[in-house]
Amino acid sequence: MAKTVLVTGASAGIGKATAIFLAQNGYQVYGAARRTENMQDLKVYGIKPVALDLTKEETITACVDQILHQAGRIDILINNAGFGSEGAIEDLPIQDARYQMEVNVFGAMRLTQLVLPNMRQNRSGKIVNISSVGGKIALPLGGWYHASKFAMEALSDSMRMEVKPFGIDVIVIEPGGINSEWGEIAMESLVRVSGSSAYQDMVKGAQKSYQRTENNNSEPIVIAKLIKRAIEANQPKTRYAGGSMAKLLLFFRSTLPDRMMDRLILSQTK
């Protein structure tokens, strides 16, 4: 029997590529997002679009209830939905910071809370949390985004040990540079928040760095294939990294002292 997968953030980027790829490989896929109009093309792959706003409890509950009613189970949850509120910590309005954490952390964890009882009952399941290289390395002007991803890394570690006795795996995916609308939206946020502030020179450097690297980004299918490999492994690793520069950057983070890492990062924002 085909395993049932819920992919959040399925209207674009990694989420959309993952939903399509898994559907093409025999999974029963539910794609969830706020913008359901952007998921209508998924129907040709047999994917069922579901409305989901991770800041609204009623839509989170309705999403899980709908899938359990129709499919009877959720075997795999892929917490992919998220965005980046960019801007200097001094500049970013605190309500924007709260919204960042609400979507990237609290919404994802609330959805996970609602999915876990069914997985525990079935004594099996996989929770896949899409983090980022930015969940291990913090860049200037993205503090709240990095805080959300650092949080997902820690929550995944705790949860992995909590649910292991019930036959449930928790897997972290750490993408590097990926071609998607995420980067453009983040840059727009950065310029809006800090483009005219005391940090404007650093913003200009960050824009140049983004322009230099965006052509080398990987396609979302790279991460979709990585997710498939992870969920099909008999004993999945706790973390998988993929996409442009991901493994190299994580290697630097694991070997370089903090001050040297700071200098390396700041050299790319000039």
Residues acting as catalytic residues: 11, 131, 145, 149
Q: What is the crossing angle of helices 246-255 and 258-267, to 10°?
A: 140
Query: Could you tell me the CA-to-CA distances from 83 to 28, 96, 99, 145 in Å, in that order?
Result: 26, 12, 10, 8
Counting beta carbons within 10 angstroms of the beta carbon of residue 258, is it exposed (0 to 12), middle (13 to 18) or buried (19 or more)?
exposed
Query: Measured between alpha carbons, how far is 31 from 19 in angstroms, rounded to an integer?
Result: 6
Q: Are 186 and 142 a contacting pair, CB within 8 Å? A: yes
Q: 63: burial class by Cβ within 10 Å (0-12, 13-18, 19+)? A: buried
CB-based burial, 93-103: b 16+ in 10 Å, e otherwise:
eeeebeebbbb
Q: Where are the beta strands (DSSP E) in the chain?
A: 4-8, 28-33, 48-51, 76-79, 125-130, 168-175, 239-242
